[in-house]
Amino acid sequence: AFACFRLAAARGDEGGLFALGVCFEQGIGVEADPHRAFLNYERAALAGYVPAENNLGGCYEHGIGVVRDVTAAAEWYARAAADGLPEAACRLGLCYESGLGVEPDLMKAFRLYETAAEGGDPHAAYRLGLCYDRGMRPKEKVLLTAADGEVLPHAGPADRTEEIVAPAPDYGRAVRLFETAAEGGVADAAYALALCYACGRGVRRDEEKCLSYMNRAADGGCVAACYSLGLYHMEGQALV
């Protein structure tokens, strides 16, 4: 495979350049070389190959083959997200949530997670689930009477006033998003579901399902789930 990708890349094929970058990054068919991975991603990205734009952002974010530059990382994620790649939209959302290379903006993060989740990215579904679980969503406009705050969806303009209200958590929506993410292989989402079933948050308490999701999370490498299971099996402690 490496020889084929190298031939395609030598002929200027953007997909071949990208695949060659993956080979050099992961050591597939060749000794790993982060800098050569970066150079191939860069060539493909500058040619407009969207997955390479996203991977180039990852190189800048984590310092893979290049000096770490979080501003450049956010810029490349933004470019790939604008070109329609859900994974890049999720990564850009994380940048806005944490202030990585951009000014922190939780509402932009929420909208990006929403877009990415709708596009099928399981990690975005998990992040969006956390937003609903924590009530971290755009504030909503509701129509109220000045007298008693009664919601009047059909009231006339003279009878109503607008008020911005911070939304409460939506645990049921969070659970559905965690389920989607867990089915997509996100171990942290399985752990979040285990917590929901342990506490009865958004679902009925169910110890069997809690244990099932906790095991799935641990199998997927979730450290918190491994620790909880260790205590459960060693000392008989509750999972949460």
Cα–Cα distance, 137 to 132 (Å, whole number): 7
37-73 pLDDT, tens digit per residue, is 999 999 999 999 999 999 999 999 999 999 999 999 9
Cα–Cα distance, 32 to 65 (Å, whole number): 11
Residue with tokens 């008693």: 148
Cα–Cα distance, 158 to 122 (Å, whole number): 46
Please name the residues in contact with 4: beta carbons below 8 A apart, sequence gap of 6 or more: none
Please name the residues in contact with 154: beta carbons below 8 A apart, sequence gap of 6 or more: none
The residue count of the chain comes to 240
Cα–Cα distance, 171 to 9 (Å, whole number): 48
pLDDT in tens, the chain (240 residues): 899 999 999 998 999 999 999 999 999 999 999 999 999 999 999 999 999 999 999 999 999 999 999 999 999 999 999 999 999 999 999 999 999 999 999 999 999 999 999 999 999 999 999 999 998 887 766 565 555 455 545 444 444 454 545 678 999 999 999 999 999 999 999 999 999 999 999 999 999 999 999 999 999 999 999 998 988 887 766 665
Query: Rounded to two decimals, what is the model's pTM?
Result: 0.85
Residue with tokens 């000392």: 235
The one-letter code for the residue type at 72 is: A
CA atoms lying within 13 Å on the CB side of residue 188: 9
208-218 pLDDT, tens digit per residue, is 999 999 999 99
